């Protein structure tokens, strides 16, 4: 067990497929933090002008891309791993882009839009919205169940 000082409001976390890194959004710190799980150390702090209340995260099975939803900017990001280079910034046209989940086949990203009460379905290959699904009030968490 170890305590590591971080930016304000660490919120969501995903673990790399190999288990070696943890990626954590710090909503109040407008940052993405990367931790080495073996040494339990903070290895990198990533910022971007449009990381405004970064929130949801999803990582591809091959560990090469990280998707990040930024609540206050209304954008989501495609971040290359392990370089942590922001490859693409995509505006959803929605308010409060909150959580993100990849479909099991990783063809689509579903993004919960907290203020507009809907889900944006993004084609991962083109990074274009292909559908918007109305849901209940303030959608938050999102996940897929394999059957």
Residue 95's pLDDT is: 75
First to last CA, the chain: 36
Residue 109's pLDDT is: 95
pTM for the model:
0.92
Residue 40's pLDDT is: 94
CB distance 28 to 7 below 8 Å: yes
How high is the mean pLDDT in each 10-residue block of the chain (147 residues)? Answer: 88 96 95 96 95 94 95 92 94 84 95 90 93 90 79
Residue 94's pLDDT is: 79
Cα–Cα distance list, 63 to 59, 66, 71 (Å)? 6, 8, 23
Angle at 45 between CA 42 and CA 46, to 5 degrees: 150
Residue 1's pLDDT is: 77
Q: Which CATH fold topology does 10-134 show?
A: Methylamine Dehydrogenase; Chain H (2.130.10)
- CB within 8 A of 133, min separation 6: which ones? 118, 119, 121
Residue 142's pLDDT is: 84
* Residue boundaries of the structural domains of the chain: 10-134
């Amino acid at each position: 067990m170890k305590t590591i000082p971080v930016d304000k409001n660490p919120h969501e976390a995903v673990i790399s497929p190999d288990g070696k890194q943890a990626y954590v959004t710090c909503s109040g710190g407008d940052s993405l933090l990367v931790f080495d799980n073996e040494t339990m150390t903070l290895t990198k702090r990533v910022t971007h002008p449009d990381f405004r209340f970064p929130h949801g995260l999803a990582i591809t099975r091959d560990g090469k891309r990280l998707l990040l939803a930024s609540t206050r900017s209304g954008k989501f990001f495609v971040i290359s791993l392990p370089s942590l280079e922001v490859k693409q910034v995509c505006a959803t046209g929605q308010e409060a882009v909150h959580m993100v989940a990849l479909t099991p086949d990783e063809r689509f990203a579903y993004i919960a839009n907290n203020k507009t009460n809907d889900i944006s379905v993004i084609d991962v290959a083109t990074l274009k919205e292909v559908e918007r699904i109305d849901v209940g009030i303030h959608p938050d968490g999102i996940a897929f169940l394999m059957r």
